[in-house]
Structure 1
């Protein structure tokens, strides 16, 4: 594959309390019409809590911004709930006359840095505002997965809801900080709410240095499932360019058993600019015969997000 970068299209500002620290992390595409896309993203407020908002762009020319929303779309949970420290968008889909948002709920901890859970929020006004489906999360730790779950991507196929999600497998102490290890697992559901989790690993660590695999995006081309995701190493990944996030790629014949093909992904950091240190959190979609990828660059989305177009599949 070969992706051609088209550049940065949205840089966050700090006009409101809900986005005081900026960031436009985890760009998530939702098609409104054939000509218009809504891109949800995650900002941070003055207390470093995450908040979800969106912009709308021309589907053919995504750098043409048509609308910038001026508020967050989902309230934080009450004190003590799984999302009382913030909500981060992960995937948005249309379900009959509603818009469903699968999102990451955040808690700050004292023994480790944070805890995540997977939540669901539902919009009845076309995706402008959302209300939580429940006070508790869809996914939290259980006897098979004792740490945390996050970052779901959902595909509905032949009546089966399929989810690929981040699963935390351990915490380690590194340079005075608690750092999580996480890879990608697979789950199924009949209704998008009650999920069967059997601990099936979809994308595993490639070696002992890799510690973060996150934000899968899955498409099906013919009989082949294709996945894009972000991956990084443990050592100094915030400062060391060679260990920071890169985008990876894998293929599967059944959506469950995957073969990593990171060397074929066809996109890497730039020599200079907003994405010269890391690239991460890809979202891939097709429009009018073209394949697009939205992604974040430096500092996990603080520099904003841009996009690329697939030029060649070879």
Structure 2
């Protein structure tokens, strides 16, 4: 792994973009990477915008979009407090954006579901396909679903996503615990959800999120982030790290976190945390985009996977 450094961060750029450039979500358009990200307003609500960078040198920023591409959902809907991108997919002449909807709760801090928006102008603007989520809590998955990654293979949409298993009280605060699961769809909208775990916990207080999957040389390769559910905001030993797993058949996955190859920097933007990976292949090179300190408050950067 060769670290290339910080690409972009936000510091009071606009009323709707006060802090954070979180969950980088990349679409390759010609010789550019369009990087969608989640930012936060003064009320700590997430909105989505994007920048464009040179695909040959992603630290060369070519364009910064000056407005959100999708507004909050309607009052009372699953995304009325936040809209966070997770995956962009070309479907016919449209682009689908699978996103994470946020709304606040009472007994726990928030609820997450997966929504779907579409673009008919090449990804510059998006509109909701539905006011409700395409994946929500169910009788088998009662806590949360969030941060999907997709591939289209063998006539099927394949999704890897983060599914909640429990909220635990840690030092008087309700903390979510989640791992990675798998679902399939014929149309990318209605999903068959066998409640199948693909990346289980290594220990009872782990949380695993934001998968990024590619099919490379006959092997499914997945990057994700994992952390402890206690003191992960204040202790870097407990904070998010980038993990890695492989599978030959997309059924049995083997965790190989030691092969992820990304370590904390001595100082700077990713010296305390590394989270929310997104892998894109360009000219034969695997580009790993990720967040650093503060869940994206320090911005996002990239590395090259060797």
Scaled to the shorter chain, the TM-score interval is over 0.9
User: Hey, what's the Cα distance between the residues in 2 that align with 1:291 and 1:168?
Assistant: 29
Q: Deviations over 1:203-248 (max 9, x none)?
A: 11111131x1111000111211000000001220100010100000
Is the CA contact (8 Å cut-off) linking 2:278 and 2:288 kept in structure 1?
Answer: yes
Q: Deviations over 1:158-179 (max 9, x none)?
A: 2110000010100011122110
User: Hey, what's the Cα distance between the residues in 1 that align with 2:287 and 2:137?
Assistant: 34
Q: Deviations over 1:113-157 (max 9, x none)?
A: 100000000011111111111011001111111111011001101
User: Hey, what's the Cα distance between the residues in 1 that align with 2:168 and 2:4?
Assistant: 38
Q: Deviations over 1:3-57 (max 9, x none)?
A: 110110101131322112x100000110111x11100000001111100000000
Is the CA contact (8 Å cut-off) linking 1:23 and 1:301 kept in structure 2?
Answer: yes
Q: Deviations over 1:264-293 (max 9, x none)?
A: 111111111110001010111111121111
Alignment pair present for 1:23 and 2:38: no
User: Hey, what's the Cα distance between the residues in 1 that align with 2:233 and 2:125?
Assistant: 33
Q: In structure 2, what is the equivalent of residue 285 of structure 1?
A: 280
User: Hey, what's the Cα distance between the residues in 1 that align with 2:70 and 2:219?
Assistant: 35
Which of 177, 180, 184 aligns to 1:181? It is 177
Alignment pair present for 1:8 and 2:33: no
Q: In structure 2, what is the equivalent of residue 298 of structure 1?
A: 293
Q: Deviations over 1:48-79 (max 9, x none)?
A: 11000000000010000000000000011111
Q: In structure 2, what is the equivalent of residue 272 of structure 1?
A: 267
Q: Residue 230 of structure 2 aligns to a residue in which SS?
A: coil
User: Hey, what's the Cα distance between the residues in 1 that align with 2:140 and 2:171?
Assistant: 29
User: Hey, what's the Cα distance between the residues in 2 that align with 1:123 and 1:13?
Assistant: 28
User: Hey, what's the Cα distance between the residues in 2 that align with 1:222 and 1:4?
Assistant: 21
Q: In structure 1, what is the equivalent of residue 224 of structure 2?
A: 229
Q: In structure 2, what is the equivalent of residue 192 of structure 1?
A: 188
Q: In structure 2, what is the equivalent of residue 170 of structure 1?
A: 166
Alignment pair present for 1:107 and 2:98: no
User: Hey, what's the Cα distance between the residues in 2 that align with 1:169 and 1:41?
Assistant: 26
Alignment pair present for 1:82 and 2:81: no
Is the CA contact (8 Å cut-off) linking 2:177 and 2:205 kept in structure 1?
Answer: no
User: Hey, what's the Cα distance between the residues in 1 that align with 2:75 and 2:133?
Assistant: 14
Map 1:14-163 onto structure 2 (within 5 A): 14-20=12-18, 22-33=19-30, 35-163=31-159
Q: In structure 2, what is the equivalent of residue 213 of structure 1?
A: 208
Q: Residue 237 of structure 2 aligns to a residue in which SS?
A: helix
User: Hey, what's the Cα distance between the residues in 1 that align with 2:292 and 2:129?
Assistant: 32
User: Hey, what's the Cα distance between the residues in 2 that align with 1:286 and 1:169?
Assistant: 32
Is the CA contact (8 Å cut-off) linking 1:186 and 1:256 kept in structure 2?
Answer: no
- Structure 1 length as normaliser, TM-score? 0.96
User: Hey, what's the Cα distance between the residues in 1 that align with 2:48 and 2:205?
Assistant: 32
Q: Residue 263 of structure 2 aligns to a residue in which SS?
A: coil
- Structure 2 length as normaliser, TM-score? 0.98
Q: In structure 2, what is the equivalent of residue 310 of structure 1?
A: 305
Structure 1 unmatched ranges of 5 or more: none
Q: Residue 4 of structure 2 aligns to a residue in which SS?
A: strand
Structure 2 unmatched ranges of 5 or more: none
Structure 1 runs (4+) greater than 3 angstroms displaced:
none
Pairwise CA RMSD of aligned residues? Answer: 0.8
Is the CA contact (8 Å cut-off) linking 1:144 and 1:198 kept in structure 2?
Answer: no
Which of 237, 243, 257 aligns to 2:252? It is 257
